[in-house]
């Protein structure tokens, strides 16, 4: 599945910043929605680089359990985060709909790509800023600091995630360690045939 396949048309007046009466409209923001443990979540589309089928993930020894492993993405070693484990939830069975969303997270001095393992990808939605509520003080299925806001969709809500918190830049040193281990030619456990499968 490619990101373009699920992107809606971008030709509406509202998306162009013009309302039906000719006045300047509030700018919508696009979000990629996905399912995890029966709950709908979303990432800001600007941080999403691509969507991959779950395949060719190489496990990494002695890493936290939420690091599912690494993938070889066009020659780059990209860590894959098991989002259910990151949230402390029960991990679903891997199916044909299981996907890895490639997310770019920016810190002060560098960009880092992460793969995020989810149960399935849903669609790209346009949500007005006025339809986004603050994170609830209690009752959320995940830590509130992981939540950027709650997007209102009719009578329902989608949990909009804060990528920089979920994929914390504080763990970039750990990610570098994962990459170094994967690239170490003497590490035979990670440099066997499994890591050689390049994802185009």
**pLDDT value, residue 92:** 93
Give the whole-angstrom CA distance, residue 173 versus residue 179: 10
Residues 6+ apart with CB under 8 A from 180: none
**pLDDT value, residue 142:** 92
| pTM for the whole structure | 0.78
pLDDT digits (tens, 9 = 90+) for 107-164: 677 788 999 999 999 999 999 999 999 988 877 889 999 999 999 998 899 999 999 8
Distances (CA, A) of 35 to 83, 87, 146: 11, 13, 16
Supply φ then ψ for residue 111, to 5 degrees. Answer: -110, 145
């Amino acid at each position: 599945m490619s990101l373009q396949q699920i992107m809606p048309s971008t030709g509406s007046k509202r998306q162009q910043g013009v309302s039906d009466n000719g006045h300047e409209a509030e700018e919508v923001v696009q979000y990629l929605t996905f399912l995890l443990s029966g709950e709908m979540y979303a990432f800001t589309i600007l941080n999403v680089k691509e969507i991959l089928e779950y395949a060719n993930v190489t496990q990494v020894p002695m890493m936290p359990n939420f690091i599912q492993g690494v993938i070889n993405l066009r020659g780059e070693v990209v860590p894959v985060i098991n989002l259910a484990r990151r949230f402390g939830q029960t991990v679903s069975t891997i199916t044909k709909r299981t996907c890895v969303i490639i997310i770019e997270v920016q810190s002060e001095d560098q960009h880092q790509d992460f793969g995020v393992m989810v149960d399935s990808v849903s669609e790209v939605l346009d949500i007005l800023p006025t339809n986004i509520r603050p994170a609830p003080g209690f009752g959320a299925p995940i830590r509130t600091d992981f939540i950027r806001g709650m997007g209102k969709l009719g009578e329902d809500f989608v949990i909009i995630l804060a990528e920089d918190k979920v994929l914390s830049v504080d763990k970039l040193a750990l990610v570098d360690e994962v990459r170094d281990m994967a690239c170490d030619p003497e590490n035979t456990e990670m440099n066997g045939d499994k890591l050689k499968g390049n994802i185009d």
